[in-house]
Amino acid sequence: MKSRRSVGGRFLIALTFLFLYAPIVLLSVFSFNAGDSSVVWKGFSIDWYVKLFQNRLIMESVYTTLLVSILATVISTVAGTFAAIGLFGLKRRWRSPLMTVGNIPTVNADIVTGVSMCLLFAACFQGWSVFARWLNGVQDVVELPTRLTLGFTTLLLAHIAFDIPYVILNVSPKLRQMDKNLIDAAQDLGCTWMQTFRKVILPEIRPGVVSGALIAFTMSVDDFVISYFTAGSSTSTLAMTIYGMTKKRVSPEINAVSTLLFVTVLALLVLSNVLEARQEKAAQKKLMLQKTTEYHPVKPPRRAPAVTKRVWFRRAVALVSAAALLVVTFALATATSAQRVVNVCSWGEYIDTDLITQFEEETGIRVNYQTVESNETLYSLLKSGGGDYDVIVPSDYMISQLIEEDMLEELDYSQIPNFSLIGEDFKHLPYDPENKYTVPYAWGTLGIIYNTTMVDGEITSWEAMFDEKYAGQVLLINNSRDALGIALMYLGYSVNTTDEEEIRQAYQLLSDANDKGVYQGKVMDEVFQVMEGGNAAIAAYYAGDYLTMLENNEDLAFVVPEEGSNWFVDAMCVLKGARHYDEAMAWINFMASTDSCLANLDFIWYGTANTEAIEQYPAYYAEAYGEELDNETFRIIQTPPETLERCEMYLVLPKETRDLYKDLWLSLGV
């Protein structure tokens, strides 16, 4: 009976551990996948690790993360320990409420902490700017910068602020366990307060301080939300970079970096445990040894002057190292402002990062490259004042909206000679009719991706998206503009219609199909996993992404339906009041060059507007891969003009139509 129960118990334990560790194991395994899928195993390789160390964005954010975490840990551990001691010394009447108030940040929603810190910093900057302008006005000796922005310093401050409560939480119990008389005893025996702290309190609470520091470090490395709101545009932690990269999907590079992170934390944990065990052992050994041997003083008596000198030396060392820490922090925080910089915000995996290095080498301008996941996020970020960017790469309809709201700066085309290489088809587009604000970055089309083994014959019409025949096999795109757009196109209406009746018809079509169980679910980036794994037959998505999926599943096909489709352009623009206008011009010009466009085209498989690049790409491909570029593939990357004629670009919709979209989308329960 007993043994049976223990078998059941073991099974439960195994199951628990499986649940706990299966995701991490899976992630680690797929970080060694030769292919770039997270579902299909293509053999063992360490390519992703190699790529990881070559990926500038990730390496830079790893560096930022480590730096901010270490600095925040050190500072918050010191501050938190002293705070805990201070609280401990208070009377209970004050201590309890203060402790409770101090702990609130640990249970507070990160998003609230993040937003409130962002607001606080913004308010401080505002105040500073008023002060600096006044000071610069009344004297000429020092010129204070009038505009401060979110960056490494604010990130560090935020991390210190949210780390401190964790340190206090870990140190306080150790203090409570400590005999309060020890402090009196130490002072009684001649210790100053600092001596008491060093010689008595610290040895007693050391385990709490160490675990507090470890937790603070983990929290810092782990944090995303608070960093997101306080790091500004020039700084990016690892979590932020990973998040930016998942715009498209969880790339194996992320698997690799996460695996490394996991291993590092594991190693730290093991190390601290081993150290502790070894210390205990050593202490025991020492005890045994001491019991058997007599004590012989070895050091000759030291003369008093030497002692005093040593104290001064120690104080000097402490002072110098404190100063050094400050200087390093300050230098790191301001390093960027001493150099020419351009702050770029784009989409995840939307650039060949070698281009950034190349640009920096050629011009000496440092690029802070950030990513956001959607036009809407970018918009709200800009509106909240959180995005201190120079160059952004929004999509067509968002550009019109930004122009409408006077948020873009006109470009100085005399500084962008490469603009002449942009094909005439890509100039004076509806979103920027006079072409004063934009230079196209990449473009593509929306189409149907389908699994040829799961459907009969070829698909040529949007009808497939509503066909009962494929019940449970169709993936609906999870954004209202595209989903309703597809229905509008199928019905033969314009995707930019403002006619409520037409939009309602389109909604009815979707709703009916949904009632019939056509849709498996609403997806954005999950589409990669589902389609690559052959778990759905049909999905509407973007051409460039289809090519990525094709690498992992050869059965997939892509079509721009006969009714026509949406085509979109993402274009580079400069924000109003950008601080690095000239650098921004240089960046735009560089990215518009034929070489850049070729490299980018090859990397992201989205179309380019550079005529030379389009012409040279087949040759470029042949040279790079030693084989002919498949014409079919090229037609998908660079949608031919006759197909493009069927396509329509999204324009910004009036407010009431946008609201209608929103309402209808909410009532469609897929």
Partner 1 sequence: MPKELIRLSDCVVKFDDEIILDQLNLYINDREFLTLLGPSGCGKTTTLRIIGGFLAPTSGDVFFDGQRINDLPPNKRQVNTVFQKYALFPHLNVYENVAFGLRIAKVPDGEVHQRVLEMLEIVNLKGFEKRSISALSGGQQQRVAIARALVNRPKVLLLDEPLGALDMRLRKDMQTELKRIQQELGITFVYVTHDQEEALAMSDTVVVMDGGRIQQIGTPEDIYNEPKNAFVADFIGESNIIDGVMRADGVVEIFSRRFQCLDGGFAPDEPVDVVIRPEDVDIVSADEGQLKGTVTQVTFKGVHYDTIVDFYGFKWLIQTTDYCPVDSHIGIKIDPDGIHVMKKSAYSGMFGDYSSYSEEYDEIGDATMAPGEEDSGDEE
Interface ranges with partner 1 (CB under 8 A): 91-92, 179, 181-182, 184-192, 195, 199-200, 203-204, 287, 290-291, 295, 297, 299-304, 307
181: left (phi over 0), alpha (psi -120 to 50) or beta: alpha
Residue (1 or 287) nearer to partner 1, CB: 287
The least CB distance from residue 91 to partner 1, in Å, is 8
Q: How far is the CB of 99 from partner 1 (least distance, A)?
A: 17
146 vs 211, beta carbon nearer partner 1: 211
How far, in Å, CA of 609 to CA of 569, rounded?
9
SS3 call for 406: coil
Q: What does the alpha-carbon distance between residue 32 and residue 38 come to, in Å, rounded to a whole number?
A: 10
Rounded CA gap, 170 and 80, in Å? 9
CB-based burial label for 306 (10 Å; 0-12, 13-18, 19+):
exposed
Alpha carbon distance 547, 248 (integer Å): 13
- Under 8 Å CB-to-CB from 77, ≥6 apart: which residues? 163, 167, 209, 212, 213, 216
> By the 8 A CB rule, do 589 and 478 touch?
no
CB of 252 to partner 1, least distance (A): 49
C-alpha 110/C-alpha 162 separation (Å) is 9
Please say which residue, 2 or 299, places its beta carbon nearer to partner 1. Answer: 299
What's the rounded Cα separation, in Å, for the pair 49 and 669? 41
Of 420, 388, 464, which is closest to residue 229 (Cα–Cα)?
A: 388
Q: Which is nearer to partner 1, 204 or 352 (CB)?
A: 204
- DSSP E strand stretches across 138-259: none
Contact 634, 555 (CB under 8 A): no
Q: Which of 373, 377, 369, 372 is nearest to 352 (CA)?
A: 369
Q: Residue holding tokens 């820490």?
A: 325
Q: How far apart are CA 447 and CA 531, in angstroms?
A: 14
Pick the closer one to partner 1 by CB: 93 or 655: 93
Query: Hey, what are 78's tokens?
Result: 């010191």
State the SS3 of 618-648: HHHHHHHHCCCCCHHHHHHHCCCHHHHCCCE
Nearer to partner 1 among residue 304 and residue 338 (C-beta): 304
Angle of helix 304-338 relative to helix 56-89, nearest 10 degrees, comes to 130
- Nearest-CA neighbor of 57 among 327, 253, 322? 253
Element (H, E) at 263: helix 252-292
Q: In angstroms, what is the minimal distance from the CB of 303 to partner 1? A: 8
When the beta carbons of 298 and 338 are compared against partner 1, the nearer one is 298
Q: Give the whole-angstrom CA distance, residue 460 versus residue 562.
A: 6
Torsion from C-alpha of 611, 615, 621, 623, nearest 10 degrees: -120
CA dist., res. 592 & res. 258, Å (int): 34
- List 451's β-bridge partners, or say none: 556
Closer residue to partner 1 in complex, CB, 59/99: 99
345 has which bridge partners? 370, 392
Using CA atoms, how far apart are residues 589 and 580, in angstroms rounded to an integer? 14
**Closer CB to partner 1, residue 4 or residue 291?**
291
